């Protein structure tokens, strides 16, 4: 039965070069990694590793229950207080992933009385949150502030959310945060900014919202993942205390989900401490990203990700394979992950790359692109 049902779907994907496959990493492999999201190069830092190991010894291997039952530990609270202080928000609430943080905030604030205005490049988790929220959703062209203003002005709903990323995942460009915030204020809307690619990278590490002077404002909410620059796992929503209370009571992805593993909390907290003690780390990401962009002949990116457009998904996959054969792991963006349908190589710069690694990576990637197109 499943063979008849799923077989043709699998064949259709394969014929378009869009099949996704899992590839297990092996421990200790000696590749130059430009595919992972360990932006600050802290996932193997002994301070972060030791903090996670110590947390397992103290708290055990799991959170044991939902945050509302036994799943909140002193580590969760310390992480929330520290992240809120670092990024300039009144409060923070930790979820078990960035995906669930986005689902939680949009569903808890959405509904029939809320219009959701969503940039057409936002992450799948914000899209899914919008759909689940049963709000009316208006998708607007990428970073088009006038389009946002227009749909907000014409709405009948009493409430509205504007959804954007600060540094976008695929294009790695920055949203016009100050303009969006100004429109939100005039039109009585709340601006929700996903800083998955901003935390630890933009604004000297504090993110683009803090850099724009918008952190802590009553109409601004920020979401973050702990799985990229924070070298761990988990998600966070930051904003006013009242928002935190509301999410604790209304966000189903918070209430009905086991709390974030204490080891992940401890790792993220340790990574945050390293970032605070070594504030030059984010600059190293930008230096590496600029070198990769220049070697590939694309514009410099605002974040850690450098996107190199390819003729199609097959060429992107082929180039990534050639890179791997030559010791450099890179990622691919292919439909449906790319809103504009353009397949790309995804090169992730991180702070731990040496000059030698970068030189080697640039040579390998340029060669692989040449051989695959």
Ligand X SMILES: Cc1ncc(COP(=O)(O)O)c(C=O)c1O
Report the residue number, 184 or 224, with the smaller CB distance to ligand X: 224
For position 125 contacting ligand X by CB under 6 A, the verdict is yes
For position 350 contacting ligand X by CB under 6 A, the verdict is no
HSE-CB for 338 with a 13 A CA cutoff: 22
For position 104 contacting ligand X by CB under 6 A, the verdict is no
Query: Considering Cα of 85, then 88, then 91, then 92, what sign does the dihedral take?
Result: negative
Length of the chain measured in residues: 373
- The residue among 337, 330, 328 whose CA lies nearest residue 364 is 328
For position 169 contacting ligand X by CB under 6 A, the verdict is yes
For position 87 contacting ligand X by CB under 6 A, the verdict is no
Cα separation, 132 vs 29, in Å, equals 40
Cβ of residue 354: shortest distance to ligand X, in angstroms? 26
Candidate list 165, 174, 257, 315; residue touching ligand X; CB under 6 A: 165
Report the residue number, 270 or 368, with the smaller CB distance to ligand X: 270
For position 102 contacting ligand X by CB under 6 A, the verdict is yes
Instruction: Give 138's contacts (C-beta < 8 A, 6+ positions apart).
Output: 115, 116, 117, 118, 151
Cβ of residue 197: shortest distance to ligand X, in angstroms? 6
For position 99 contacting ligand X by CB under 6 A, the verdict is yes
Quickly tell me which residue has 């954007």 as its tokens: 164
For position 301 contacting ligand X by CB under 6 A, the verdict is no
Ramachandran category for residue 63: left, alpha or beta (phi over 0 → left; psi -120 to 50 → alpha): alpha
Candidate list 73, 97, 166, 232; residue touching ligand X; CB under 6 A: 97
For position 262 contacting ligand X by CB under 6 A, the verdict is no
For position 98 contacting ligand X by CB under 6 A, the verdict is yes
CA 304 to chain centre: 11
Binding positions for ligand X, 175-214, rule CB under 6 A: 194, 196
| Cβ pair 148, 117 in contact under 8 A | yes
Cβ of residue 8: shortest distance to ligand X, in angstroms? 30
Ramachandran category for residue 279: left, alpha or beta (phi over 0 → left; psi -120 to 50 → alpha): alpha
Binding positions for ligand X, 214-233, rule CB under 6 A: 225, 227
Task: Give the three-class secondary structure for 15.
Answer: helix
Cβ of residue 95: shortest distance to ligand X, in angstroms? 8
Quickly tell me which residue has 């992730």 as its tokens: 348
Report the residue number, 99 or 254, with the smaller CB distance to ligand X: 99
Where do contacts with ligand X occur on this chain (CB under 6 A)? 97-99, 102, 123, 125, 165, 169, 194, 196, 225, 227, 235
């Amino acid at each position: 039965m499943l063979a008849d049902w799923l077989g043709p779907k699998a064949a259709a994907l394969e014929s378009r070069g869009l099949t996704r496959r899992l590839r297990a990493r092996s421990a200790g492999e000696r590749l130059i990694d430009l595919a992972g999201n360990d932006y600050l190069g802290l996932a193997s830092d002994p301070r972060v590793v030791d903090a996670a190991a110590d947390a397992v010894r103290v708290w055990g291997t799991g959170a044991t229950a939902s945050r509302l039952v036994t799943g909140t530990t002193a580590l969760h609270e310390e992480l929330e207080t520290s992240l809120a202080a670092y990024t300039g928000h009144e409060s923070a609430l930790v979820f078990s992933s960035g995906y669930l943080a986005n689902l939680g905030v949009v569903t808890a604030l959405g509904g029939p009385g809320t219009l959701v205005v969503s940039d057409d490049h936002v992450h799948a988790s914000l899209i899914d949150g919008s759909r689940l929220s049963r709000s009316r959703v208006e998708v607007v062209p990428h970073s088009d502030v006038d389009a946002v203003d227009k749909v907000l002005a014409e709405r009948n709903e009493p409430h509205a959310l504007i959804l954007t990323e600060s540094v976008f995942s695929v294009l790695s460009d920055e949203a016009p945060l100050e303009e969006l915030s100004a429109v939100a204020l005039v039109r009585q809307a709340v601006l929700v900014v996903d800083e998955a690619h901003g935390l630890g990278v933009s604004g000297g590490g504090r993110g683009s919202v803090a850099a724009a002077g918008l952190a802590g404002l009553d109409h601004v909410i920020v979401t973050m993942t702990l799985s990229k620059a924070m070298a761990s796992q988990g998600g966070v929503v930051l904003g006013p205390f009242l928002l935190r209370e509301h999410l604790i009571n209304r966000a189903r992805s918070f209430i009905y989900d086991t709390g974030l593993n204490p080891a992940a909390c401890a790792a993220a907290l340790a990574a945050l401490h390293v970032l605070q003690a070594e504030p030059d780390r984010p600059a190293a990401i930008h230096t590496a990203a600029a070198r990769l962009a220049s070697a590939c002949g694309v514009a410099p990116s605002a974040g850690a990700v450098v996107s190199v457009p390819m003729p199609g998904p097959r060429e992107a996959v082929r180039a990534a394979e050639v890179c791997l054969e030559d010791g450099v792991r890179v990622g691919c963006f292919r439909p449906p992950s790319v809103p504009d349908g353009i397949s790309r190589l995804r090169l992730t710069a991180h702070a731990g790359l040496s000059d030698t690694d970068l030189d080697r990576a640039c040579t390998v990637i340029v060669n692989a692109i040449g051989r695959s197109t």
